[in-house]
Structures are given as C-alpha cells and as structure tokens.
Amino acid sequence: MFPQSMAPLLQLLSALISDKSTAKKVYSFLDKMSCYTELYKHKPNDVLSHEDETQWRRQTPKLLYPLGSGQANIRMPQGTYGTVMPTAQGYLVRWHYSYSGWTIFTCEIEMLLHVVSTADVLLHCQKVKPIIDLVHRIVSTDWSITDCLLPITSRLYMLIQRLSSVMNPPMEVIASCVNTLTVLATRMPAKVWADLQHTGFLPYSVTQITGIVQSISAEGMQAGSYGNLLLSIERPQGKYSVTTAFLRLVITLVKGQLGSTQSRGLMPCVVFVLKELLPTYHKWRYNVYGMREEIGCLILELIYTILNLNLEEESQGSPPSLQAMCTHCLANTEAGQAIINIMAIGVDTIDTVMAAQPSSSGSEGSGQTLTQTIKLAFSITNNVIKLKPSSDVISPLEQALTQHGTHGNNLIAILAKYIYHRHDPALPRLAIQLLKRLAMVAPMSVYACLGSDAAAIRDAFLNRLQSKTEDMRIKVMILEFLTVAVETQPGLIELFLNLEVNDGAVGSKEFILGEWSCLQVVLEFIDSKQQGKYWCPPLIHRAAIAFLHALWQDRRDSAMTVLRTKDRFWENLTSVLFGELPAPADITEKSVLETCAFTLKIICLEIYYVVRGSLDQSLKNTLNLFFDKKRYEYWSEYIKSLVIYMTETDTDGASTFLEFHKLISAWRMFLVLATSYEDVMHLCDCPLRLQLLHDVLEATKILLTAPLSAPCLRMGSMLATLLLILLKQWKRVIVNISKILDPLDQILESLSQSNQYFMEKTKAKIYSAIIITIQIKQLRVSDFPQYSQMLLTVCETIHNEAIVLLDQTHHALTTDSALFDDKDSMETDCAPRLQHKDQKDGVCVLALHLAKELCEMDEGGDQLVSITRTVPFLPAMLSALELSLRVKQNLHFAEASLHLLLSLAKTEQGATAVGGAGVLPSICLPLLSVYQLSANGTTQTLGSSRKSLDAPSWPGVYRLTMSLMERLLKSLRYNFLTEALDFVGVHQERILQCLDAVRKVQSLACLDEVDHTVGFILQLSNFIKEWRFHLPQLLRDVQVNLCYLCQTCTFLLHSPKVLQHYLQVKNGDTIPPAIVPRQSKPAQTPKKQQDIERDEMEQRAVLKVQSSLLRILSKTLAAIRHFTPDLCQILLDQSLDLAEYDMLFVLSFTTPAFDSDIAPSFGTLLATVNVVLNMQGEIDKKKEPMSLNVIPLTSPEETKSLKALLRFTMENCFYALISQAVRYLKDPSVHSRDKQRMKQELSSELSTVLSSISRYSRRGAPSSPAAALLLSPSNKSTSSTSKCPESQEPLIQLVQAFVRQIQR
C-alpha cells in the first residue's frame, strides 16, 4: 500500500529503530523501493490494459507529483507495468518501478508547502507527520545519516513558518518539526539558530538590547509565531505539544554555547519564558495528566542550564548576558516568586502524588517529574543567590525567602521539612544546600523560622546523619550546613549542640553532651577506629573536621570545653596527621588533604588562644609525638612533593589544585605560629628549623622558576610570604647565607624575565627576603658569588620601574590637576597620594633598598659604578626623582632613591658617578616644592612632627638631600663646590630658618634637620673664600645664625629643667614619638606608679633632645672654627688682613640667654666649656648620660665615643675663643679700654676653667677622634694623634700661655 497509505509502514519502521544498525537498515530499505502503489477511481487514458484488466502498462511517462520544474519530483517512465487490484473505491495499481522512498517524502513535504493555504492541508499533514517522526527517530539514533536526509530537514524551517500561519494550524506536525530541529541543534546549534531566525517562529527583538532593565521590560520584543500559537491554540485547547518542543529546543540551543552574539539573540526567547510561561503555567488548562509538571520541569531546566553556563567575563558596555539577565529577573520580578511557589509545594504534597502514582509508571511518573522540578527550583534559587551582585538592598527574592509567615506557611520551615522525604535522596540534599546558602547570606534566624518544629526537625537531621545506611552526600551536606550555622546561626547551632548543664558540678558551670547533640555523631565520625569503613568515607571525615574547625574558629568555648574532656579527642583528631598519604599523583580522594588542613588549623587556633600553661596534656603529648615521630620533616617533604606535582601537571584550572592550596595554606599557618610558640610546638631544635626553612625556600623556588601558571604563581606568592616570616624570625639559625641567597637569586632572575602585573607582589616579597638575608650577617662581595649578576638584575629593574613611575606620574599630571598639596608637609608630614609603583613594599622601592644593601657590601664601590656605565638606571632614577619632588608625589621612591645615592656616594668613584649623572639639576630646584614659602618670602616655622624619624616623610627627604650634598662635597671637594654653592643659594631661606628654629622648636624632627644642615655648612666652611666671593651676604647671615645656634644649644644644655619645660609647654610634645615604649602598660596601674613612669619617660625625652643638641653644638663650633682666623696665622703673620674675618662674638662675659636680642658673646663660649666639663663630670660619676639610644651607656665604646665628642667640642670652643680674642686685640678699631677689660675678664674666667680642666685631665681624658672627621685636613694631624691624657697637655699649655700673655 506504500505510498498510498504510508503511515502504518512508517510507524512500524520507527518502532524497529533501536540502534545505529537498525537505523541504517531502515534507511536502506526506504531508499530502494521496488513498487509504487497508486489508487485510481477511473482507468486513465495513457495506459494499456491486459484482456482481463489485471495488468496495466504506461504508454507515456508521468510525473507523480504536480510540482513545478526545478523542484523535487519522481517521473514514472513509459512502459512501466502495474498490477491492478479492483477495489470499491476504484483501481489499486501496484507499479513495478524502482525509486527512493526518501524522494517521495521530500515531494510530500513539498506538496504540503504548496497546499498549505487550501482545505487539503489537514489531509497532507496526516501524511507528512509520520515522515517527520521517522526522520526524528533516525536522526536521534544515528547522526551519520543526517546529511542524506538534508532535503527533508532543510524544508522543516519553511514548513514551520507556513503551518504556523494557517487558520487551524496542525500543532502536532509543528511540534514534530521542532523536535526534529532540536535533535539537529545538538550537533550544529549555530546553523539551526541561523535558519530559525528567518522563520519568525521564535520570539525576537526589533531593537538592540543594551541593558538588563530593557530586557526585563521586554521593550521592543515580539512573541513570534510560537507566542501566537500558545495564546490562541494551545492554552484554549489544553494541549501543549508545541510548548514542550519549544522549551526543549531553547534548552538545546543554550547548551550549544552559540557564542556571545547568538546566545544574546536567544534573550527574547528566555524573557518570554520568564515573563509569560514561568509565572502563569500552573494556572493554565490541561487535558493531559502530568503535563503541568512536565512544562514546569522544562522551564526550570532551561533556567538551570543558563545559570550554570561558564561564560566569559563581560566587557564594559556590552549587552547583558543571558546569565546576568536571568539572575536579575529571578531576583527582582514575579518569576522569582514562581520559583518560591514551586519550592513551597512541600514534602506532604510530594508524598501524596507519589502515593497516587501507579506502581507501573516506574521512574517516569508525575511524582518523579514533580520531584525533579522542585530539585531544579532548589538549585536555581541557590545559584541566583550566589550569582546576584552584592548590594545593600535586599532583593524581592531574598525578602520572600526569609520573611516570617504563620506556622506551617514559613518557607524556611518547609525547606527544612524536606528532610523527611525518602524517595529521592537528592531532594533533601538540595533543600539543605539552599538552607546553607540562606544561612550564609540572609539576615534571619533559621531557628526562629522553625518555631515549635525545631526540635523535631533537629532529631530528623541527626537520625539521617547517624544512620549507617543513609546516602553519604546527605550526611556531608548536613555537616556543611551545621558548619555554616556555627558562624551565622547562633540559635540553631545551640539547638544542634544540645549542651546540658551538669547538675553535679560544684563551684563552676560545666556542660555535658545532651542526648540529641550533633557532637556525639561528629565524635564518631572522627574516631580513628571508624576510618575506612563504609559508613565513614573520607568525605564525611573531612566534613566532620571542618565542623570542628568552625567551632574553634568561632570560639564556641562551651562546645570546645566539652570536646577537650572527651577521651582520646586530640588523638582521634590528629590521627590523620600521623598517617602516610599516597603520592600526589596517586591521590584518588583529595578530601584527605582538606582534612589534614583543617586539623592543622584547629591545632593552631588552640595553641594561639589558650594560655601556654593551660593546654591539655593530651594535646601537649600529641605535639611532642609530632616532633618525636619526625612529622615536621614528613609534612615538609610532602608539601614539597605537592609543589613538584603542581609544576609537572599541565593544567590552568584553579579548582584542580584547590585542596593542595588549602593544605599548603594550613601548613603555612602552622609554621608561622611555630615562630612564636617554639617551646609549645617543640621547634627549639635549630637544625630542624633550618631544614624547614630550606624546604620552604626550595618549594618557593620550584613554583616560581617553573613555567608560569596562575595556580603555581598564587601558591608561590603564598610560600614567599611564609619564607619572609621565617627569615625574620629564624635568622639566628642560618649558618650559610649563600645557601639562602643562591635560590633567592634564581627566583629573582626568573621573575625578572616576566612582565605580568599580577607578579608584582611576589617580586616584592622576594626582594624583601633578599634584603633580610643580606642584613643577617655582614657580607663581603667575595662571600657572594652571584653578587654581580644580582646587582645587574636589580639595576635593570630600577631602570624599568623608574621609567614606568615617570610615565605614571606624567599621566597623573595630565588627568588630575589637584596633585599639588597646599599644606606645608615639612610640618605636617602629610601622606602623599600613593601610586601603585610607589608603595612602601612595592618592587620599585624595594629594588632601590636592595641596591643600597648591595652597594654597602662593596667596600670599594667599583661594581655598582661599573654597572652605571652599562645600565643607565641613574639618569632614569634621577628623572623620576626630579618629577616626584616637583609635584610632591612618590614619597617612598624619593626616599629610597636618596638612600641609594648616599650609599653610592660614599666612595670617590661613586660620588663622581652621582655628580656626573646630573644629581644637582634633578634635585636642587625641584626640592623647593617639598616645602613652601609664606607670602613674605620666608619659610614657615618648622613644626613638631608627630611621626617617628624613621617613618617616610617629606622632611626626611629634605634631610637626606642635605646629607647627600654634604657627602658629595666631602668626597669631590672643588669638583662639586660650584653645585654646592648653587644649592645653598637656592635654599638659603630654609637653611637660615632651620638654624634659627632651635630657639622655637625642640622636636626631634626639627633637631635632626638642624643637625644635617650644620653638617653640610661644616663641609662648605672649608671653602670660605669661594663662599665669600659668590654669596657674601649669605655667608655673613650663616655666621650670625651659627653663633646664635651655639648660644641656644649651650643655654638648653646648661638648663635641663628649662628644656623640659619647653618640651612640655611650648611644643606640646612631652614624649617624642621615637622613644615611646612599644608595649603599653596595664590600664589599672596605680597612680603613683603611673607618675613615676611618666617622669621616667619625660626624663628620657629630655636626654634624647640633649643628645641631638650636643651633636649640633659640636658641628656648629667646628664650622665656626673655619670662620675665625687660624691661630698660627693670626699669631705669627703680621700681614694678616683682619677685614677678611668678622668679629663673631661681642665683647661680653654674661651667661648666655634664650633671647634673640642678646648677641652671642665670649660668655657664650666660656659657658659652653663649663657645660662640657659638667657633662664629663656626670659621666665619671656614672650618672645616666645622653645617648643616641636613650639607654645607659654600658659599653666602653659608647662611653669613649661620647667623651671624645665632648672633648672635640671643648677643643673647638677654646680655639674659637682664643682666635676671636686675638682678633679683638689686634683690631685697631677696638678701644684700648675695652681690650684691657677683655684681658682681665678672660684671665679670670680662663684661670677658673683651666683649674677644672687640670683636675679632669689628671683623672684621665680620652682623645678626640671626632676631630679627625670634622676638622679641616690641615688640622687633622694635631687633633687626631692624641692617644692618652698627657697628649692633651699642649692644649692646656696653649690656653695657659694665652692667659699669661693677656695678664701682662
């Protein structure tokens, strides 16, 4: 009867298709048909019949289908014989003719397309539907036949388009077409999607989608032909074959990962589902039982698929992704409420449906579909909460999830009661997972939501948790839920802990475990005797240990106290640490690594929070056993093996090594804690600590020198932090520095070859580690074979980083006009705006510090100087420094650069290199921006800095610059003299203000700047003739200010009580920050003790300031010595031009005052000598003297150094006094009466001083080694050769001779 009645045959063939072989047989059978059956009502004219009318023969060829030319058709040739079978309807002829049935099918579809608008459409649809069903069956079974069926499948798109527009569309045929396209879309989604777009069947958008709000509002979107079919045909009829096919098609297209453009093209389809289907599908009319559940399940499957797509991160301004749109829609529209309604169906309804379901339905009944729908709703809600962007505003979905309803109508309670469901273990597991997510993010109490059912639900949870036949994943999820509840749900966790007060306890409140305590079950899970049994697999063990870790981390003291009292608790907990783990490549269950990680963290928390002497004896024994059984060595080696495995495994997945990362992180915490609790953790053994340090270093080197991957870099950065801490804390155990520096140098070399930005922090840690290692022990270049290579690498880094910093600062200038700060940072030490290259612990700054350390290792300074000729880092650094100073940015870089320049300038070669690189043009004028001038052109008064002197600050930068000028002038002398005079001329206002500042401010910051300024002036005073020639007025101003400074210092040193008063009242800074003790005292110290401590700190503050004043005074007098005539010259050279030397001190012998109106006089110099003698007397009486560290001088070297400084001060004071006195006596403009009075006064005062000096000299006085550093070269020999008290007698003899001379 084929093809006259083809439906029965096609249905039979469809049923026969079960695998690829049968599909091929069916295709071959239809492809080679041998007879063609046709029904005739009357005998046609173009045939010849047999006498008995049983056989016909065609006289002319015939086209079997009335189709136009160029279309598929079949031609029956002339002479074809046919067997005639008379019937009631006419003649049934079976023509003996070979043809392909697939061509017949194509023609039938083509005929349907031609008659689609006629009354014959339904008749043709009955013939075409079995064809499409057969094609669907074949394509679903064997994809390889798809190409052969292309003539049919390619016409399905047009068929859908035309059939959807007829008056009474054939819904089953349309559904069959869509189902067939769904199968095709599994292999070629892009082609199916592209062809479907031309049909108008799917919902589409007529405008470009630019934002989530627009997509949610469905603005510019059309429902397409499907939307019309749903509203006009399916919903009134209650049959939804096209809807189910549409949903399956969209799901397949979404899964097909079409790419960003095409997946966003699906957005109108998804929006249609979310707005038109999901909120209302449960209200539709249904004629088929179970169809509602099937549609709901398909809708949620679509949403679930979208939410689990692994999409690339969206670029700024791009259209929203399907995932973002779906998340926003579910969180903020009625679609989310529809999901909640599905979850709220409840366990009772499911049980009712399952009970009413026929037992013959198996796993395909409506009950299973409903269960699957609810499971999808749980997963969708969990994903929406996870993917929703964080916001302070609670979304409608979250609000609906957490709102408190009446008893029995509370969603949280409904979710918790799914624990009673027994048919599908995944349903309670997903419900608990959602509860866990809500407990993490929602501001509500789960315990309050459970109400009176709380205890019963807890018992159900625990029953399933302790059942040995329960699904393992449910147990794990319950433990994870309780782990989250420890931190976020205090009421609920107390319910599960079920701790009861021990009535028998006396004197203190003790707890015991209740009958329904979850801790009973957890203790069973961690029992070492239960491990490895089927009811306690590694996943459950890990979850139990994680729960205990949450208790310790959240400091649940009552639960921890009960657990500590349990027998063998610490032994069971730590048993996993004493086992042997398989090699990393052989690990099948990675949860064991997490178990070890959580155990290590619990031990760390216990040791950290519990007082040392109060640790449980069981834990102490465990830690002792950990040491005795060499578990430190084992775990250190195992961590290293994990690292090696990571580098050898070619993968970039972050989740692949998640367990590795957790274990290594825990081991890092364990070792960091061990640095502070070495005795408790039995790590006092120096060789063991050294081995652990070397293992960490080796692991870091393996990770950071291997081919770079993101997981290895993250792990390497983490271990670099640990290495840094261990180097700081265990530097005493390091014996061979080169064994540390060699791997660090290799790491540095490897990292320097990478330009990836996210490695900046890792590079910085390695630089810090190298700096710490170098500072452990004084090294020479010969001790460090890699010195040259490391220095070259560091200099190249400085060069590159300085260029980047320069570009960044220029960019900031062009984009931000507010770079300049109006405040005077010389006073306020205000913090600059940090650029990422100028961070204190950034690569740029640390590279400069490391270069400084390496430079100081080289005593000759040749290495760095030679590198400056090959790597132009100095010009780049100075260019960045110049811009930084000019715009007052990059403070840390500026300070580190100046430190490096100071170290480089310590040798003559280095100073020449610095000077030749153009240091003065880079610093001199830009330095003006560091401090500001007031309206009248003078600098503002220096303020009292509240910062430590060691903290980076712009005043510190100014002081470093002054020190650099001093060092360069000292090394280069006349080669740098012009630059030095330029510098002092540019900054003369600041210099003069600084010299005058001691009278007004006595803060340590101010005194430190004065100290550096006077040191620079001391070096410049060696070139007084050149100074007078270029800057005569400035020279005179500096001389006057130096004399006033001498007077001020003498007065303050002479009157400690006055100095203390100024520190308290005038500066308001009783205790300089640099000397405030680091450890604070207890708050309840008695008042008397507090007063004593306060007095002690004030006294130490005074001593600290006195020490600074003494250094300033010594340098000031050394400079004044150069401004007064040379003694030998003025005494012996009669032709000396006295006009070249001004009279610095007035002819007066009064005690120095603090008032600027009183000019410095000879009395000032005499008072200075007396102050020095008094200080020397205090040292001899073993009183606490001044010290740079504000501590009693206990070492002979410190005492000798201070005495030498005092002696040097006294020598210069006598020198200036005698020189100025002779200058007065030889000056013809001074009246003879004044000269006579001066002789009398000097004779009397000096006689008194000489008697004191004689007594002191007989007790023994030190030499003055400071003189060799501070005096001019012509006077070094006379001042630095003294080695014993007798060698000081020439000075006394000189003063005595001078006294005798003036007494005549």
Give the chain's length. 1304
Q: What is the pTM of this model?
A: 0.79
User: Which position has the higher pLDDT, 926 or 1264?
Assistant: 926
DSSP labels for 239-252? --HHHHHHHHHHHH
**CA-CA distance, 234 to 178, in Å (whole number)?**
15
pLDDT value at residue 820: 41
For residue 55, the cross-strand partners are 83
**Cα–Cα distance between 422 and 428 in angstroms, integer?**
8
The least confident of 472-486, 820-834, 945-959, 1185-1199 is 820-834
Q: Which amino acid is at 397?
A: L
∠ Cα 266 267 270 (to 5°)? 95
The residue with greater pLDDT, 1225 or 248, is: 248
**Residue 255 amino acid letter:** K
Q: Which residue has the higher pLDDT, 836 or 922?
A: 922
pLDDT value for 1274: 37
Could you read off the pLDDT of 1042-1062 as tens digits, one per residue? 999 998 898 888 887 888 777
Of 56-60, 135-139, 475-479, 983-987, give the lowest mean pLDDT range.
56-60
- As a whole number, mean pLDDT of residues 297-304 equals 93
**φ, ψ (nearest 5 deg) of residue 1282:** -75, 135
Reported as a pLDDT band with limits 50, 70 and 90, residue 938 is: very low
Mean pLDDT, residues 923-948 taken together: 62
- Mean pLDDT across 619-643: 92
pLDDT in tens, 332-355: 888 889 999 999 898 999 888 888
CA distance 420 to 413: 12
Helix axes 787-815, 862-870, angle to 10 degrees: 50
Alpha carbons 1199 and 1262: distance in angstroms, whole number: 10
> Where do we find the tokens 């505003």?
393
pLDDT grade for 751, boundaries at 50, 70 and 90: confident
Choice among 550-559, 727-736, 929-938, 1207-1216 with the minimum mean pLDDT = 929-938
pLDDT, residue 932, reads 63
Q: What's the pLDDT at 93?
A: 86
H/E stretch holding 859: none
Mean pLDDT of 1203-1222: 88
Could you read off the pLDDT of 881-900 as tens digits, one per residue? Answer: 999 999 888 889 999 999 99
Report the distance separating Cα 933 and Cα 826, nearest Å.
11
Find out whether 1046 and 1117 touch, Cβ atoms under 8 Å: yes
Q: Which of 1119, 846, 1125 is nearest to 966 (CA)?
A: 1119
Looking at every residue in the chain, the average pLDDT score rounds to: 82
DSSP conformation letters of 482-493: HHHHHHH-HHHH
The predicted model gives 909-927 an average pLDDT of 89
Task: Tell me the DSSP string of 913-970.
Answer: HHHHTTHHHHHTTGGGGGS-B-TTSSBPPP----S-TTS--HHHHHHHHHHHHHHHHH
Reply yes or no on whether the pLDDT at 220 is more than 70: no
Share above pLDDT 90 across residues of the chain, in percent, rounded to a whole number: 31
Burial 1202-1240 (b: 16+ CB within 10 A, else e): bbbbbbbbbbbbbbbbbbbbbbbbeeeeeeeeebeebbe
CA distance 425 to 1219: 104
Rg (CA), the chain: 47
d(CA 1054, CA 1050): 6
Least Cα distance to 432 among 370, 476, 496 occurs for: 476
Where does the pLDDT of residue 1081 fall: very low under 50, low under 70, confident under 90, or very high at 90 and above?
A: very low
| Contact partners, residue 962, CB within 8 Å, separation at least 6 | 1009, 1012, 1013, 1015, 1016
Confidence of residue 322 (pLDDT cuts 50, 70, 90): confident
Give the integer Cα–Cα distance in Å for 787 and 781: 6
More reliable by pLDDT, 1113 or 1241: 1113
pLDDT confidence of 460, banded at 50, 70, 90? very high
Q: Angle 426-441/472-488 helices, nearest 10 degrees?
A: 10
Which helix H or strand E contains 1047, and what residues bound it? helix 1032-1054
Helices (H) and strands (E) in the chain, counts: 61, 11
d(CA 1118, CA 1216): 9
- Long-range residue pairs from 1163-1168, CB within 8 A, at least 24 positions apart, any chain: 1164/1043, 1164/1046, 1164/1047, 1164/1050, 1165/1046, 1165/1213, 1165/1216, 1165/1217, 1165/1220, 1166/1217, 1166/1245, 1166/1246, 1166/1249, 1167/1050, 1167/1051, 1167/1054, 1168/1046, 1168/1050, 1168/1113, 1168/1117, 1168/1209, 1168/1210, 1168/1213
Give 586's contacts (C-beta < 8 A, 6+ positions apart).
none
Residue 97 DSSP one-character state: E
Q: Which residue has the tokens 């400069």?
A: 848
Provide the 8-state DSSP code for 1161. Answer: B
Q: Calculate the dihedral angle through the C-alpha atoms of 775, 781, 787, 792, rounding to the nearest 10 degrees.
A: 100
C-alpha separations of 1284 from 1204, 1258, 1262, 1274, 1281 in Å: 12, 11, 6, 22, 9
Q: What is the pLDDT of residue 243?
A: 94
Q: Is 92 helix (H, G, I), strand (E, B) or coil?
A: strand
Confidence of residue 948 (pLDDT cuts 50, 70, 90): low
| Model confidence at 828: pLDDT above 80 | no
> At 1000, phi and psi to the nearest 5?
-105, -35
| Separation of CA 931 from chain center | 35
Name every residue whose Cβ is closer than 8 Å to that of residue 1084 and which is 6 or more positions away in sequence. none
Six-digit token string for 144: 């390889």
End-to-end Cα spacing for the chain = 158
What type of residue is 336?
Answer: G
Nearest residue to 1117 (alpha-carbon basis) of 1154, 1059, 1157, 1160: 1160
How does pLDDT run across 780-790, given as a tens digit for each residue? Answer: 887 788 888 88
DSSP state of 1151: P
SS (H, E, C) 697-744: HHHHHHHHHCCCCHHHHHHHHHHHHHHHHHHHHCHHHCCCHHHHHHHH
- The type of residue at 698 is E
Q: Which residue has tokens 């958008």?
A: 205
Q: What's phi and psi for 1155, nearest 5 deg?
A: -90, 130
What residues contact residue 1194 under an 8 Å CB cut-off, 6+ apart?
none
* Closest residue by Cα to residue 791 from 854, 849, 719: 854
> Which residue from 1145, 966, 905 is spatially nearest to 1044, judged by alpha carbons?
1145
Place of tokens 């929203």: 320
- The one-letter amino acid code at 1146 reads V
Q: Which of 94, 97, 5, 92 is CA-nearest to residue 40?
A: 92
Strand-pair partners of 85:
92
- Report pLDDT for 1030: 92
- For 508, left (φ over 0), alpha (ψ -120 to 50), or beta? beta
* Mean pLDDT, range 167-194, rounded to an integer: 91
SS3 at position 1086: coil
